[in-house]
A and B are shown apart, each in its own frame.
Chain A
Amino acid sequence: MKTEINYLNCSKGLKSWLFTHDHKRIAILYLIGIAISFLLGGVFAMAIRLELLTPDQLIVSSKVYNQLFTLHGAIMVLLVIIPAIPGIIGNFILPLMVGAKDVAFPKLNLWSWYFYMAGVLLSLYHLSTGAVDTGWTFYTPYSISTNTSVITVVTGAFLVGMSSILTGINFLATIHMMRIKEMGWFKMPLLLWAFYATAVIQIIATPVLGITLLLLVMERVAHIGIFDPALGGDPVLFQHFFWFYSHPAVYIMVLPAMGVISEIIPTFCRKKIFGYKFIAYSSIAIALISFLVWGHHLYVSGQSAFASMAFGLLTFIVAVPSGIKVFNWIATMYKGAIDLRSPFLYVLAFLVLFTIGGLTGIINGTLSLDLHLHDTYFIVSHFHYTMMGGVLIAFIAGLHYWWPKMFGKMYSERLARITCGLLFLGFNITFISQFILGTRGMPRRYHNYLPEFQSLHIISSIGAFIVGLAFFMMLYYLIDSLFRGKKAPNNPWGGTTLEWQASSPPVTENFDQTPEMRELYKYKSKDEL
């Protein structure tokens, strides 16, 4: 059998990868960097759950515990969830989806990976010089006074932010300039709308994070007196700066996830997406309103009651467009021809978990209830439902959807289904118990806790170990598919977007001839396998 030339085997050697300008190879590089980070963040999560089996010290001291939850949070947010969908799925699929050979600025694209990896390596390096114990939020004045390597980690976060801005610029330019002629704005797949809205937030908000982190470094090094109360600074100002980025960053994570879901649902329901324009516009609405809600992280910080009320109102308004998307996705299933293969199973898991995440967000966002729930396990559970149950599960759904395109191999469908079920079960066991811990008053970031909370903590840890097992199974069957998987056809799911016209895996130039624009989400019977 003759092997076809594709982007994976067209050239060999480490150099051909490290200096590549091919968006597909850069996506694979991101996949490797993010997988390593995820493994690390996951190991820390398991260590945390192990420690919390007993109310007193079990395996690590308070100091180490504080470092563990800081690293788990910082790695998962900054090195995994923010870059995962844009870095891997975006880089690989976006140029194919617009029918282009590559992104608008291929060299810049490689640079953004190097910035990302520099951030990863700095955070690995700092483990040897005294891991940070500030929490991933780096709140002042604690982050000014602690003697751990705050500056190294903050520099890492700065570089990752840089990488995120460059990716945003690249996607914006690619979507504007490189679509094939026939693809008007409202003929774009919804994933492109999502990446577009994301890019806008990345470009506007991320520089604020960069400035904030630089100010923090200057405060530690040069004592400029902006955040340190001993020098006349205001520690709460840091929280405003931090959340001015970090709340829109929630949508930098969620919007691409919503885009992925909007692609998978019509394909597996063999039906046009319901309310295309409403989904597209709601992405833009979320992007804009997301800049005006950061103050809901500061209800109990001493912020004025009036400011809290204004932020509270806007917080509830931003919930509506997310709700609209969920309704439209479910409406798409109505009278569809539903195909329950693994990418769609992950989408179903997403729909349930993300709904729980969104609705508990309303409970948190209610001014009076936040006084009780703020900084408890309730909020911990809420953001895990949106970030992990939402974004990460959507990423996994996307990975299963485009895996055949990326590697030209099919994974074991049976194992994928079992894993999806296990993940869903373990996740809910872990975090439903944490909701109850939170409403009963268990504060977050506690190394020791009152004995009355122990049984719920044990249940939560058992759930977490199930989740850990599920991820190892996923690792196994995905890697196994590369060696023993069946060869994937060009269009295994009968998708209508342009990337399915390329071969699996695509050649370096993506398409042998200019792809032909089909009516979006218009499925034909013969497309099916």
Chain B
Amino acid sequence: MKDNTLDSFWLPEPISKIALHSDKLFYVELWGTCLILFAIVALLIYFICKYRITSKRRVACNQNDHNNKLEIAWTIIPTIVVLILFFWGAKDFLSLSIPPKNSMEIKVTAKKWMWTFEYPKANKQTVGELVVPINHPIKLIMSSQDVIHGFYLPNLRIKRDVLPNRYTVLWFQAEKIGEFQIFCAEYCGDAHSNMLATLKVLSTDDYNKWVKQSEENVINEIPLNELGRKLYKSKGCSACHSTGISKMSGPGWGGLFMSKKQLENGDDVVADENYLRESIVNPADKIVKGYPSIMPTYSGMLNDREIDAIIEYIKTLNEQK
């Protein structure tokens, strides 16, 4: 389990030295803000108590309306303070922005509403889960297939927009083993708030094991409905389909199996194994009435056992009801 030793009231746990370092400036500015605010409120309260209007004193006793020395002081001092803060922030910004030369490259592809990660060196691909080794600089080369998304790693204090017409780059070095949240930060439509992913930081040994491990072994080892549940999360299904009956961008999976659905073209269809399989491979062919035709095809992204697993998982959702 995750221990939250560095998890503070204000910020989620930083998992790199650079993140920890950039938090210093945050706390300087946060407590600076509180201090100035406190001073201003104290001054307001003091003035209100001390200089209240009375029946004897109907106008201010002191009509001094300017003091150039004071004005210059409270122009120059804040200017110097903000300049210091600017250069401090800019320095941290550059170290958070420029990837070291020996970084390992991972290609990130965003589309509504899932994250796909490709590992050129390991020749692997994952959906919804970014797997990296600990203490190694990682350079993400990101692009989008549709609208603008935003790749956001709160524990590393970084984010960058993911654009459809160019590559953007983000780098980090995770220094703690565990699983950490990834959000989409740039609004991208209906299931924006479900466009989540996990950063999985492994020890160097585990990472090498993961690289060598063939995908098929994993797939063949687990029972079907277990695998289906995993795929539901890791392949991005959860962004659009609930496991109950509530309607998201796509129909809910609860009670779906063998239910009767009306299609856009008016035909009726029973959601049996064949229909479910077809909907995974060729989703645009038979759209259930009332839903937009937005699901990408999973043809080529799932093998037969994986498709079986998802169908099996959908079946178990019937039994629970």
CB of A142 within 8 A of CB of B246, answer no
Q: Residues of A contacting B187 with CB < 8 Å?
A: 66, 134-135, 139, 142, 444-445
Do A371 and B158 form a contact, CB below 8 Å, given A271-B62, A443-B152, A443-B183? yes
Q: Residues of A contacting B218 with CB < 8 Å?
A: none
Chain B positions 12 through 45: 1 when the CB is less than 8 Å from some CB of chain A, otherwise 0? 1000000000100110011011001100110110
CB closest chain-B residue, reference A230: B164
Give Cα A356–Cα B52 distance, bound, in whole angstroms.
25
Chain B positions 145 through 161: 1 when the CB is less than 8 Å from some CB of chain A, otherwise 0? 01110101011011111
Instruction: Name which of A107-115, A319-327, A390-398, A482-490 contacts chain B.
Output: A319-327
CB of A305 within 8 A of CB of B93, answer yes
Question: What's the count of A-B pairs with C-beta under 8 Å?
Answer: 271
CB of B43 within 8 A of CB of A271, answer no
User: Looking at the complex, which one of B52, B88, B96, B152 makes contact with A340 (CB distance below 8 Å)?
Assistant: B52
Chain A, range 298-326, C-beta contacts under 8 Å to B: 300-302, 305, 308-309, 312-313, 316-317, 319-320, 323-324, 326
Do A443 and B160 form a contact, CB below 8 Å, given A271-B59, A375-B150? no
Q: Residues of B contacting A328 with CB < 8 Å?
A: 71
Give Cα A323–Cα B164 distance, bound, in whole angstroms.
40
Q: How far apart are A445's CB and chain B's nearest CB, in angstroms?
A: 4
Question: Cβ of A275 < 8 Å from any Cβ of B?
Answer: yes
Do A324 and B44 form a contact, CB below 8 Å, given A142-B147, A300-B161, A355-B36? no
Question: Cβ of A277 < 8 Å from any Cβ of B?
Answer: yes
CB of A371 within 8 A of CB of B62, answer no
Question: Cβ of A9 < 8 Å from any Cβ of B?
Answer: no
Question: Cβ of B320 < 8 Å from any Cβ of A?
Answer: no
Q: Residues of B contacting A233 with CB < 8 Å?
A: 165
Question: Cβ of A79 < 8 Å from any Cβ of B?
Answer: no
Do A320 and B85 form a contact, CB below 8 Å, given A142-B148, A269-B60, A333-B47? no
Give Cα A441–Cα B153 distance, bound, in whole angstroms.
9
Chain A, range 354-384, C-beta contacts under 8 Å to B: 355-356, 359-360, 362-363, 366-369, 371-372, 374-376
Give Cα A439–Cα B160 distance, bound, in whole angstroms.
17
How many B residues face the partner with a CB closer than 8 A?
88
Give Cα A333–Cα B45 distance, bound, in whole angstroms.
11
CB of A62 within 8 A of CB of B60, answer no
User: Looking at the complex, which one of B40, B82, B147 makes contact with A362 (CB distance below 8 Å)?
Assistant: B82
Chain B, range 175-229, C-beta contacts under 8 Å to A: 181, 183-194
Question: Cβ of B259 < 8 Å from any Cβ of A?
Answer: no
CB of A300 within 8 A of CB of B159, answer yes
Do A273 and B158 form a contact, CB below 8 Å, given A320-B75, A356-B37, A366-B25? no
CB of B85 within 8 A of CB of A316, answer yes
Q: How far apart are B146's CB and chain A's nearest CB, in angstroms?
A: 7
Q: Residues of A contacting B165 with CB < 8 Å?
A: 229, 233-235
A-B contact pairs, 11 of them (CB 8 A): A142-B148, A234-B165, A312-B89, A316-B86, A326-B40, A333-B51, A335-B60, A348-B48, A439-B11, A441-B183, A443-B183
Chain A residues packing against B (C-beta within 8 Å): 56-57, 61-63, 66, 133-135, 139, 141-142, 145-146, 229-230, 233-236, 269-278, 300-302, 305, 308-309, 312-313, 316-317, 319-320, 323-324, 326-328, 330-331, 333-340, 348, 351-352, 355-356, 359-360, 362-363, 366-369, 371-372, 374-376, 436, 439-441, 443-450, 521-526, 528
Additional 18 contacts, C-beta under 8 A, given A278-B75, A375-B152, A375-B186: A62-B191, A139-B186, A142-B148, A230-B164, A235-B165, A270-B60, A274-B67, A275-B66, A320-B78, A330-B43, A352-B41, A366-B85, A369-B29, A439-B26, A440-B10, A443-B150, A446-B192, A528-B58
Closest 9 interchain pairs by CB?
Answer: A441-B154, A368-B92, A271-B60, A229-B165, A367-B93, A366-B89, A446-B193, A335-B62, A272-B65
Chain B residues packing against A (C-beta within 8 Å): 9-12, 22, 25-26, 29-30, 32-33, 36-37, 40-41, 43-44, 47-48, 51-54, 57-67, 70-71, 74-75, 78-79, 82-83, 85-86, 88-94, 96-98, 146-148, 150, 152, 154-155, 157-161, 163-166, 168, 181, 183-194, 246-249
